[in-house]
Amino acid sequence: ADDALVTTATELEKSNRYYLAVPYSERNDAKQLGAEWDKNAKSWFVNASEKDKFKRWHPDAAMRQHINLDPHEEFKKELQKVGFIIDGLPKMDGRLHRTKVEGDKGAEKSGAYKGFLDGIPAGFYENHRTTARSNWKSSGTSLSDNDRKEMIADAENKRIEREMNAAKQHAHSARRCAQAWELMKPIKENGYLKHKGVGVFGVKQDNKGRAVIALRNEDDQITSLQRIGENGFKSLKKNAKKSGSFHKLNPSEFKDGDPIAIGEGYATVASVVEATNIAAVMGVDSGNLLSVAQTIHRQYPNSPIIILGDDDVYSKTNKGRLKAIEAAKSVGGQVVFPVFREPAKGKTDFNDLLKFDGAYALKMQIGAVVSKAIASTHELQKKRVQENALDVLDQTKFQANAMTR
């Protein structure tokens, strides 16, 4: 597993690209020398080891000095006004980026933005914590085609460098996590699990008595470890990859075609497993549900996906509900939220439902959604069979007509 993660970082380094600022009129010259076009970045690039042959097209910050305001700096100031915490400069590459905002804790990233350098630089941002959202347009001078190409090339080179560094850090942290996991002992008594009223599903403990959960990617490689103290404090391995990482509580129950439940925290998902024995996945937090749901859907394309949403109706944004709905929609799945006999602040997830309303209430609520998900999947599969049969019939008619001509 470790070798595979190291290989990922090595392959990224081997494919390292250096982006060029090539004017449209000189594109053929660059192409003849070996430059290639990246249609997503809208920029020419070469292998970094060959960049010296293309010095005439190296990004040069001096070429941009005549612009009244650097759009990166201007956009950053706008984002900071609405509470964004930006490390360095915002990425203006036309992609959606998530970042921390004031009030975020731990790994939370409640800010989203997208920036463009085409023509007059512009962008969009949304602070999900305060609900502030707006379009933005630079007040500075329009970028010439050459200036725009220059900035795109410079931004892409920096992005590649960041990705290389992140991949190396992820590979190193994954190795350390796998080594630590092997040395840990099976969990015995744990205050956190006892307090939550749930059992052990693939959990170990460290020498401080904390519950430890191994997070893995879709290739079953350990990517990170989550530690949970007796007081409920959770921490992830520093510099390890969280995005798309998850923990299968009962791996033997996973079969393509059978329902799969995905939730945020361990206690929430463990509560559902004990009540229903459904195949279930812990996705760490609400921000990770989307990528985990998509990964599990790729692994088990015929399985109905059920998202176990946290529902903090007393919070301002109710991020758990929003992210759960988003994840379910992305895979054509179902989403379910706990319904309490006596709603109150602090009652938000299915572990709370287990503690306050009992296992029967939990089983009935999950069971109803599972039945709905299975029926919906069967209907979709039936429709696909009918469509395939019609395709075969049409093809047969086409071949018959062709033979009579």
Contacts of residue 100, Cβ cutoff 8 Å, sequence gap at least 6: 84, 85, 108, 109, 110, 111
Separation in Å, CA 237 to CA 45, 177, 266, 291, 384: 35, 8, 17, 19, 43
Separation in Å, CA 310 to CA 2, 170, 243, 328: 34, 29, 19, 13
What one-character DSSP code corresponds to residue 60? -
- In the chain, the amino acid numbered 102 is E
- Measured distance CA(140)–CA(121) in Å, rounded: 8
Give me the tens of pLDDT residue by residue for the chain, a chain 405 residues long.
444 444 454 455 445 788 888 887 788 888 989 999 887 777 888 888 888 888 888 876 434 444 446 788 899 999 999 999 998 899 988 889 999 999 888 778 999 999 988 767 889 999 998 888 999 988 765 566 676 677 677 777 777 777 788 888 999 999 999 999 999 988 878 899 999 999 999 999 999 999 999 999 999 999 999 999 999 999 999 889 999 999 999 999 999 999 999 999 999 999 999 999 999 999 999 999 999 999 999 999 999 999 999 998 888 889 999 999 999 999 999 999 999 999 988 899 999 999 999 999 999 999 888 888 777 665 655 555 555 555 555 565 555 555 555
pTM of the model: 0.64
Q: How big is the CA angle at 321 (ends 277 and 315), to the nearest 5 degrees?
A: 125
- Measured distance CA(304)–CA(311) in Å, rounded: 21
The pLDDT score that the predictor gives to residue 403 is 56
- Measured distance CA(63)–CA(192) in Å, rounded: 59
Residue 307 near residue 334 (C-beta atoms within 8 A): yes
The pLDDT score that the predictor gives to residue 2 is 45
- In the chain, the amino acid numbered 224 is S
- Measured distance CA(269)–CA(309) in Å, rounded: 10
Alpha-helix residue ranges (DSSP H) falling in 15-60: 27-32
Q: Which two tokens stand for residue 367?
A: 């069971």
The crossing angle, in degrees rounded to 10, of helices 350-357 and 266-276 is 60
Reduce the DSSP state of residue 125 to 3 states and report it. strand
